[in-house]
Amino acid sequence: MMKLLVVDDDLELNEILTFTLQRAGFQVLSAYDGVSALQSWRDEQPDLILLDVNMPRLDGFGVLRQVRRETSTPVILLTVRDEEEDIVQGLEAGADDYISKPFSPRQLVARVRAVLRRSGRRPGEIDNASRFESEGAFVLDTEQRTVAIAGAEVVRLTTLEFRLLRYLMQNREHVLTPNQIIAQVWGDPEAADRAALKQLVRRLRRKIEANPSAPRYLRTVPGAGYLLSVGTGGDALVSPAQPS
């Protein structure tokens, strides 16, 4: 049975979330502030964390940053506001998804299952396997979620950036449509839109391109989608070949 940690200082909402997820077949633990959330996470090793943004003692962003320093445990942020600043801050810090309150029980369970499915986690799994994937100039560390390009300095990726780059690497030199990418990276075609994808592409380009406004690797194919040209090393990060 998959184990979830629900973190929200609203006692009534915490109980509702717990009840909903238990009915869906999950084992659920509860915490009501950031400090106790970190303790429960370390003690219990949950398979996923549902994390409220606004909490006493330590807010959700602080908890998320600490979790990401140590593991890749999936995290879904809960926020009362559907504001771009909160969403971007959470995704940049490594959140796997976000849900804006209020939301339906059905949506909650679907999003939790989607994140668990694309994370590939099994009940009680602990992050302890390290391996590398390489394509051309790119070397991806699937445990640390970092990438090195042509032997250059290692760059840390957020969860969504990592999924996007990995998917593009697996389909190198092939055009992927926005719908294909959204379904793979977010796990649910309705979890994001093309604007969110464009924003994610821009963030990834800032990390892997010498000149993000004229990308060499992550290219836009007008009217079709995106393509990753992996390169072969030597001249990587030099004079981009095609504008976006």
Q: What is the pLDDT of residues 73-101, one digit of tens each?
A: 899 998 876 667 777 888 888 888 888 88
Which of 92, 119, 146 delimits the end of a domain? 119
Q: Is residue 210 part of a domain?
A: yes
Q: What pLDDT, on the 0 to 100 scale, is given for residue 108?
A: 92
Q: What is the pLDDT of residues 206-232, one digit of tens each?
A: 999 989 999 999 999 999 999 998 764
Q: What pLDDT, on the 0 to 100 scale, is given for residue 151?
A: 65
Check whether 49 has a pLDDT greater than 90: yes
Range of the domain at 137: 132-228
Check whether 237 has a pLDDT greater than 50: no
Structure tokens given for 187: 């796990």
Tell me which amino acid residue 194 is. R
Work out the average pLDDT over 10-20: 92
Start-to-end CA distance of the chain, whole Å, equals 45
Q: Is residue 72 part of a domain?
A: yes
Task: Mark whether 153 and 85 lie in a shared domain.
Answer: no
Q: What pLDDT, on the 0 to 100 scale, is given for residue 54?
A: 87
- Burial class of residue 23 in the structure, from the number of CB atoms within 10 Å of its CB (0-12 exposed, 13-18 middle, 19+ buried): exposed
Rg over alpha carbons for the chain, rounded to the nearest Å, is 19
Task: Mark whether 150 and 48 lie in a shared domain.
Answer: no
Which CATH number covers residue 150? Answer: 1.10.10.10
- Residues paired with 221 in a beta bridge: 225
| 86 secondary structure, DSSP code | H
Task: Mark whether 110 and 138 lie in a shared domain.
Answer: no
Work out the average pLDDT over 30-51: 91
E strand or H helix that includes residue 135: strand 132-135
Q: Is residue 241 part of a domain?
A: no
Q: Is residue 127 part of a domain?
A: no
How large is the angle between the packed helices 159-170 and 194-208, nearest 10 degrees? 80
E strand or H helix that includes residue 33: none
Entry pTM = 0.55
CB 128 within 8 A of CB 224: no
E strand or H helix that includes residue 233: none
Structure tokens given for 198: 């464009």
Task: Mark whether 155 and 221 lie in a shared domain.
Answer: yes
* Lowest mean pLDDT, pick from 14-23, 138-147, 162-171: 138-147
Which CATH number covers residue 17? Answer: 3.40.50.2300
Q: Quote the CA–CA distance of 235 and 199 in Å, as a whole number.
A: 27
Helices (H), the chain: 11-23, 34-44, 60-70, 84-92, 105-119, 159-170, 178-186, 194-208
Task: Mark whether 158 and 115 lie in a shared domain.
Answer: no
